[in-house]
Amino acid sequence: MALRVLATMIMVIAHQAHGSGRGSMGLASGITDPPIAGICSTSVSVHGYRCHEIDVETQDGFILSMQRIPEGRDGGGDTERPPVLIQHGVLVDGMTWLLNPPEQNLPLILADRGFDVWIANTRGTRYSCRHTSLQPIMNRCLNLLLQPHLDQYKWPDVLLAAVLRGFWNWSWDEMVVFDLPAIFDYVYSQTGQKAHYVGHSLGTLIALASFSEGLLVDKLKSAVLLSPIAYLSHMNTALGVAAAKVFAGEITTLFGLAEFNPKGEPVAKFLKALCDYPGVDCYDLLTSITGQNCCLNASTVDLFLKNEPQSTSTKNMVHLAQTVRDGVLAKYNYGNPYFNVMHYGEAKPPIYNLSNIPHNLPIFISYGGKDALSDVRDVELLLDSLKLHDVDKLTIQYIKDYAHADFIMGVNAKDIVYNQVVSFFNHQH
């Protein structure tokens, strides 16, 4: 069985590396002027809020898309409003925050409650798939490019493969080193204020890793971590565990660096193979990945499945799988001591030591009893590593019935979580 999955995986990677993968996103229809409706127009302005699309460049040349909602539906943008930066998790993008009706979703609630809201989209997702140093023709999500236009431009295979390897050559380490600093710097440069932060899932892991390295903390007022992930050893979704086993085989060293596009046919095949694993039930894919969510609205889930999942790099999936396997929060493991020494000067990848997070940083953690990705036992490990944190700077909320997706899409998340988040922010001065 494992062999079969691995064989599928080889197909996935080979297929994508040769640029013949045909995703099902169907968005591309012109290279110079791609008809992309941004998140502002599809999900914010329609509800009567002002919204700006913004591009932010990272030091390693990625162009990240952000949305700024500077005021509430009834205005109020003239007064000084505290900025809040909202960071989504893996395999989704900033739009997931906006799928519920306006009175139920976090960004618009924050805008109506007096905040200047900034939504981030990590590298590789639909709107953050551009890079400065690639040729203009490549200056769009490569995933989109690989579809109808490829033949027309006749890129030599070797050249294309090289560009692809460069483009997808990152894991969440690069989000820590490049993405978060770029967006924090940008928000600071525009507002002159330190920002509050809200992260979900991978958005919590990269934040914790950053804070532990002393990054961002001079531009940060407080941090809210929903479904926090730092340790993943107890992850109890059968699908997740099966996937982690396959990825932890360090497939990138065997098969090269490529896109992991869950909407593309090759990855769909890969998922299907995983679903044949004993104990894995893919009847309800969202549940089999996130755990039994208590409080989702069926129309929101439909919207979610139309817009997500989003691409990430295979290397990022491998890095996450290493976190599951190794039980420590460490940098990407190159798979053998020689390569690790080349990259880090040490045989093992350096760890992110969470005890180094400044003890006086105001942190709010909210976690759920039914969350299959952010398992209660792993959250307890995280809390244990924060045991030296100043007691009055750490707020912890436990929600018995919540699973992973309830925190972003729960119909009652406003009452249970977001109101607490707002009052937590209002208490920081």
Ligand X SMILES: *[C@@H]1O[C@H](CO)[C@@H](O)[C@H](O)[C@H]1NC(C)=O
Is residue 381 a contact residue for ligand X (CB under 6 A)?
Answer: no
Of 35, 133, 169, 104, nearest in space to 408 by CA? 104
In the block, residue with structure tokens 């599951």: 324
- As a whole number of angstroms, the distance between CA 45 and CA 415 comes to 24
- 371 in catalytic set: yes
Instruction: Give the shortest CB-270-to-ligand X separation in angstroms.
Output: 22
* Per-residue interface string for the shown chain with ligand X, residues 157-176, x marking contact by CB under 6 A: --------xx--x-------
Selected catalytic residue, list 128, 375, 404, 406: 404
Catalytic residue, chosen from 93, 116, 173, 371, is 371
- Would you give the binding string for ligand X spanning residues 396-425, x where CB under 6 A is met? ---------------x--------------
Q: How far is the CB of 120 from ligand X (least distance, A)?
A: 22
Residue 299 lies near ligand X (rule: CB under 6 A): yes
The site map against ligand X for 4-43 (x = CB under 6 A) is ----------------------------------------
Residue 52 and residue 68 in contact, taking contact as beta carbons nearer than 8 Å: yes
Nearer to ligand X, 339 or 398 (CB): 339
Per CB under 6 A, contacts with ligand X among 338-377 are 351, 353, 355-356
Residue 168 Cβ vs ligand X, minimum distance, rounded to whole Å: 9
Whole-number Å distance between alpha carbons of 234 and 329 = 14
Q: Which of 236, 297, 395, 397 binds ligand X (CB under 6 A)?
A: 297
Nearer to ligand X, 11 or 328 (CB): 328
The structure tokens listed for 287 are 């549940």
* CB atoms inside a 10 Å sphere around CB 135: 11
Which of 75, 101, 337, 350 touches ligand X by CB under 6 A? 101
- Looking at the Cβ atoms of 257 and 361, the one nearer to ligand X is 257
201: annotated active-site residue: yes
Distance CA 53, CA 130 (A): 15
User: Smallest Cα–Cα separation from 384: which of 343, 360, 407, 354?
Assistant: 354
Cβ(87)–Cβ(120) under 8 Å?
Answer: yes
Would you tell me which residues interact with ligand X (CB under 6 A)? 101, 165-166, 169, 257, 297, 299-300, 351, 353, 355-356, 411
